[in-house]
Amino acid sequence: MIVEVTCKPKSSKSRIEKIDDSRYRVFLRCSPIENQANIELVEILSKYFKVAKSLITIIAGKKSHQKRVQIDNWKNI
């Protein structure tokens, strides 16, 4: 599954808002310095979709607020 993610770094609380089936807005506590925000994004998506962090890959937008993320072995329950 591939999802479009809009990241909002430096938020007061980490959370996910579902926009539609393939688009999400993710609020991150970390700043985008030294890849910290991307690491936190993978951790949050891992908990949200209940998959291992190793199954989540940022395939586009590593240095952007708009990202395309691939989540392997995810099943819509």
What are 3-45's pLDDT values in tens digits?
Answer: 999 999 999 999 999 999 899 999 999 988 888 999 999 999 9
Read off the amino acid at residue 51: V
Exposed, middle or buried by CB within 10 Å (0-12, 13-18, 19+), for 72? exposed
Instruction: Read off the CATH number of the domain in which 8 is found.
Output: 3.30.1200.10
What does the pLDDT read at residue 32?
A: 86
76 in a structural domain:
no
Using DSSP bridges, classify how beta strands 2-8 and 66-71 pair: parallel, antiparallel or unpaired: antiparallel
66 in a structural domain:
yes
**Reported pTM:** 0.87
What does the pLDDT read at residue 31?
A: 87
Domain hosting residue 44, numbered range:
2-71
Q: What is the rounded CA–CA span in Å between residue 58 and residue 70?
A: 6
Where does the pLDDT of residue 77 fall: very low under 50, low under 70, confident under 90, or very high at 90 and above?
very low
* Number of domain units in the chain: 1
